[in-house]
Amino acid sequence: MLSNTKKLFIEAGSFQQNKHGNIVCGDTVLMHKSIEENRTIAVVSDGLGSGVKANVLSTMTASMALNFSIRREPIVRTAKIIMDTLPIDSVRNISYATFSIIDIESDGNAKFVEYDNPPLILIRDGQLYKLEKEETVIKREANQIEGNDRMVMLSNIELQKEDRLICFSDGVSQSGIGNMTMPFGWEDGVNDFIIETLKTNPYISARELSRIIVKQSEFNDIFKPKDDTSCVVLYVREPRKLLICTGPPFKEEDDKYLAEIIKNYKGRKIVCGGTTSKIVSRELNLEIEVDLKDVVSSIPPVSKMKGIDLVTEGIITLGSLTEILENEIPHNIDQKGADWDIYRMILDADVIDIVAGTKINIAHQDPTLPVELEIRRNIVKKLALLLEQEYMKNVNLKFI
Amino acid sequence: MLNVRICVGTYCYITGSSDLIKLKDRLPEEIKDKVSFIGSACLGCDESDESPNPPYAKVGDVLIKQCNEEKLLNEIYSQLGLER
């Protein structure tokens, strides 16, 4: 009732692993979702070599590719500018970073640009779908050290529901190189791996699939990756909805309205806040049970209410959640605490509806309380912005 | 079984109930089997007109303001009719 679900929804997920012993990744993955246009753009770039130098090359390439794509610059011009801009490696005398650009419009029309990355994979109906690719030669003017013209592959397709696009750096396709079982690396084995994975788990999220692919590459290299490994998965799916209600409504008459929203919502539901859960419990006649078994020191314990997936305390939990979201994607997401519970549910959701009550809690107006107990409205706004910009979620924010 | 409710709402939690809920793991032997610790999302401090005195806890039907371990144990003992 809060969001339009008719649009094609694209879930985007990515995972990266550094080359063994490196503290920075030489690959760069950038994703952008423009809410107004309902357009999704993802870029993967692999810089020459590894470490900081590769990271600089790939970061420059990826951010140029992304920003030019957002502004709908012609691809030939984009590719040319990227190639002419990169600094020249003093050892190898070339300037180089690969890139792949995936640009999906709201109607499902997708354009792909590939330059020297392993071929993009499209899985449709559980099978590998062969994309028709067109080669375009990019003539180079500046920095003409070796004088070679470069070849860029272009393709496009109309996406359907349940399609998956998988794009990775050569860290994936070349993983395991030199092993008895895969002397030339994983190569086409990755296709079979993806198809097998989808067979056993047809609704696997983009986030999880990208993680599994990278983890398997790491395994192929016996847990010492020989190259930076990155994978991006875009999954066209029925949006998974999540409702987060926090805070009592400004007007008491609206308590019923809040309860109605929660009752009729089709999707997973979270209620954050002691007073809020009391209102919901009163209006819907549901009992609250606070679970004191797994108490994490810094975060108040979660409660249980029938029909609500998660009931937590309000401001402390949301504040801590915002902190988790602000940091880089952690490698271990299975941590305990109400904030981590919400975090995991957020990662699994595509459309997030937030209903924030704006009544000021008089009990909190105590100057001796820590500053972190921010006004709910501020914290919710910050949360919504983060989810939209950094986590590519469709966020609907409503104040009552 | 005597019900002991501890409020874990925001205000109560940061003013001390985070420690109170841990008390359930180190209750004295003689009362260990006679009380059950239950959390509560809110015991109603926001509804009363007087200025709030968190943390709140409830032993049976008795509401304790500005609760601490000492007050809580005293109330439990007195309701159970035991000497401390």
For testing contact with chain B, the best of A290, A296, A317 (most B CBs within 10 A): A290
Of A278, A292, A366, the CB nearest to B39: A292
Residue A316: helix, strand or coil by DSSP? helix
A68 contact partners, CB below 8 Å, separation of at least 6: A77, A78, A81
Residue A258 falls in which region: left (phi positive, over 0), alpha (psi -120 to 50) or beta: alpha
Of A281, A303, A315, the CB nearest to B39: A303
Chain A residues within an 8 Å CB radius of B42: 274-275, 277-278
Please name the CATH architecture into which domain A9-237 falls: 4-Layer Sandwich (3.60)
> pLDDT by residue (tens digit) across A85-131?
877 766 666 767 899 999 998 888 999 999 889 999 999 999 999 99
DSSP A301: P
Chain B residues within an 8 Å CB radius of A303: 39, 41
pLDDT tens for chain A, residues 1 to 400: 344 445 678 888 999 999 999 999 999 999 988 877 788 999 999 988 888 989 999 999 999 999 999 999 998 888 888 888 877 766 666 767 899 999 998 888 999 999 889 999 999 999 999 999 999 888 766 555 555 677 889 999 999 989 999 999 999 999 988 888 888 889 889 999 999 999 999 989 998 999 999 999 999 998 899 899 999 999 998 888 999 999 889 988 889 999 999 999 999 999 998 889 989 998 999 888 887 877 776 888 888 889 899 999 888 899 889 999 998 777 777 888 889 999 999 988 989 999 998 887 776 677 777 766 667 888 899 999 999 888 888 899 999 8
Predicted local distance difference test score (pLDDT) of residue A65: 94
Test B9 with A275 for CB contact under 8 angstroms: yes
Of B10, B14, B41, the CB nearest to A290: B41
> pLDDT by residue (tens digit) across B20-79?
888 888 888 888 888 888 888 888 766 666 677 888 898 988 888 888 888 999 999 999
DSSP A71: T
- Residue B10 Cα, gap to closest chain A Cα (Å): 6
Sign of the CA dihedral running A265, A267, A273, A279:
positive
Test A300 with B40 for CB contact under 8 angstroms: no
Per the prediction, chain A carries an average pLDDT of 87
Predicted local distance difference test score (pLDDT) of residue A147: 56
Strand partners, A167: A232
By C-alpha distance, the chain B residue nearest A370 is B14
CA B9 to chain centre: 13
At A116, list the tokens: 């020297």
Strand order in the sheet with A121-124: A9-17, A229-237, A164-168, A121-124, A127-129
List B residues 2-61 in contact with A (Cβ-Cβ < 8 A): 6-11, 13-14, 18, 21-22, 24, 37-42, 45-46, 52, 54
- Cα atoms in the 13 Å half-sphere on the side-chain side of A130: 1
Predicted local distance difference test score (pLDDT) of residue A191: 93
Test B18 with A362 for CB contact under 8 angstroms: no
Residue A89: helix, strand or coil by DSSP? coil
A266 contact partners, CB below 8 Å, separation of at least 6: A241
* Residue located via tokens 């809690």: A361
Chain B residues within an 8 Å CB radius of A379: none
Predicted local distance difference test score (pLDDT) of residue A233: 96
Predicted local distance difference test score (pLDDT) of residue A151: 85
Predicted local distance difference test score (pLDDT) of residue A71: 92
By C-alpha distance, the chain A residue nearest B45 is A363
Q: For residue A329, which amino acid is it? A: I
CA distance A315 to A300: 10
For testing contact with chain B, the best of A316, A318, A321 (most B CBs within 10 A): A316
Please name the CATH architecture into which domain B2-80 falls: 3-Layer(aba) Sandwich (3.40)
The interface predicted TM-score of the complex, written ipTM, equals 0.70
- CATH 3.60.40.10 residue spans of chain A: 9-237
For residue A10, give the nearest of A106, A99, A154 by alpha carbon.
A106
Q: Domain-by-domain residue ranges, chain B? A: 2-80
Of A277, A363, A366, the CB nearest to B46: A363
Of B7, B10, B22, the CB nearest to A373: B10
By C-alpha distance, the chain B residue nearest A316 is B10
Residue A31: helix, strand or coil by DSSP? strand
CA A392 to chain centre: 6
For residue A353, give the nearest of A305, A400, A285 by alpha carbon.
A400
Q: How many CB pairs under 8 A join A and B?
A: 74
